[in-house]
Amino acid sequence: MPLFTILSLFPEAIESYLTVGVLGLAVKRELIQVQVVDFRDFSRDRHRTVDHRPFGGGPGMVLRPEPVVEAVEWVEERHGPHRRVVLDPAGTPFVQSHAKAMATAERTLLLAGRYEGFDERLLQLLDFEPFSIGDFVLAGGELPALCLLEAAARLIPGVLGDERSAELDSFSDAKTLDHPHFTRPRVFRGLTVPSVLLTGDHSAIDAWRQKEANKRTKERRPDLDDPKGA
């Protein structure tokens, strides 16, 4: 069973999400194990301080290296080495191929930050891989950590009710988005379901879906099908 460890200053924000949806079912069925560690517990003073002003001046506070390094060491002494990931707006954009690799790892540690970020030395000492979920900045790394966790977890066999759901997702082949989906009613406010989907001709349906996936990709994400943009 894969183990995911999340280091955060707000474990309650993560733990509540782990009780619902895909992740909740995966945990309940013991298909994945998730532990959330508050690295404030590893601070060195009675005020449980984890941040300080940046050397050189500037706005905000920077997370000190000691609590995080000691938290990681504590986790790995008990559970073994992890693949170490830090959520960072300056990191590598996280894509589906990264989720697939993470889904096969035995142990993954996700470090969620706050404030202006981490002291760079802790990232160097522990050889973290930085990943970003987009070109924007959030108040902390908890939401990105959950994004990575869910993206990986849903690719683990048994987590989804039908494993074809993951196989046919957008980005599953790294080239196209998912095709449009339709369900009942057949007509809604004058808009009808494409007739090919009602024929029962699976080869025709597959061809339509591939055509629509290619069309959607070209319109919305032309970079996915452009070798220069790859």
Give the CATH number, domain containing residue 103.
Answer: 3.40.1280.10
Element (H, E) at 102: helix 96-103
CB 110 within 8 A of CB 35: no
> Count of alpha carbons within 13 Å of 60, Cβ hemisphere only?
10
Residue 149 lies in a domain: yes
In this predicted model, what pLDDT tens digit does every residue of 100-144 receive, in sequence order?
999 999 999 999 999 889 999 998 899 999 999 999 999 999 999
Do 57 and 141 lie in one domain? The reply is: yes
The H-or-E segment that residue 8 falls in is strand 3-8
Last residue within a domain, chosen from 153, 186, 203 = 153
Q: Per residue in 194-213, pLDDT tens?
A: 999 999 999 999 999 999 99
For residues 16 and 31, give the distance between their C-alpha atoms in angstroms, rounded to a whole number. 18
Residues 137, 74, single domain; the answer is: yes
Q: What string of DSSP letters covers 164-177?
A: HHHHTSTTTTSS-P
Q: Is the dihedral of CA 150, 93, 137, 126 positive or negative?
A: positive
Looking at the structure of the chain, the number of domains it has is 2
Question: Hey, which residues are catalytic here?
Answer: 89, 116, 154, 169
- For residue 176, the model assigns a pLDDT of 85
For residues 23 and 109, membership in a common domain is answered with yes
What pLDDT was estimated at residue 47?
A: 83
CB 24 within 8 A of CB 54: no
Predicted pLDDT of residue 229: 47
Looking at the fold, whether 117 and 10 belong to one and the same domain comes out as: yes
Does the residue 162 lie in any domain? no
pLDDT computed for residue 101 by the predictor: 96
Residue 196 belongs to some domain of the structure: yes
In a domain, 159, yes or no: no
Residues 6+ apart with CB under 8 A from 185: none
Q: With the C-alpha atoms ordered 129, 84, 106, 150, is the resulting torsion angle positive or negative?
A: negative
- Domain that residue 184 falls in: 170-229
Asked if 121 and 181 sit in the same domain, the reply is no
Do 9 and 50 share a domain, yes or no?
A: yes
In a domain, 22, yes or no: yes
Element (H, E) at 160: none
3-state secondary structure of 52: strand
Same domain flag for 95 and 132: yes
Quick one: 118 and 182 in the same domain? no
Looking at the fold, whether 111 and 225 belong to one and the same domain comes out as: no
Instruction: Check which CATH number belongs to the domain holding 179 and give it.
Output: 1.10.1270.20
Residue 158 lies inside a defined structural domain of this protein: no
Domain boundary among 153, 185, 207: 153
Give me the residues of the chain with pLDDT under 70, please.
161-174, 225-230
Asked, for residue 120, whether it belongs to a domain, the answer is yes
* Residue where one domain finishes, among candidates 90, 118, 153: 153
What is the model's pLDDT at position 76? 98
* 124/186 same-domain check: no
Asked, for residue 160, whether it belongs to a domain, the answer is: no
What's the whole-model pTM score?
0.84
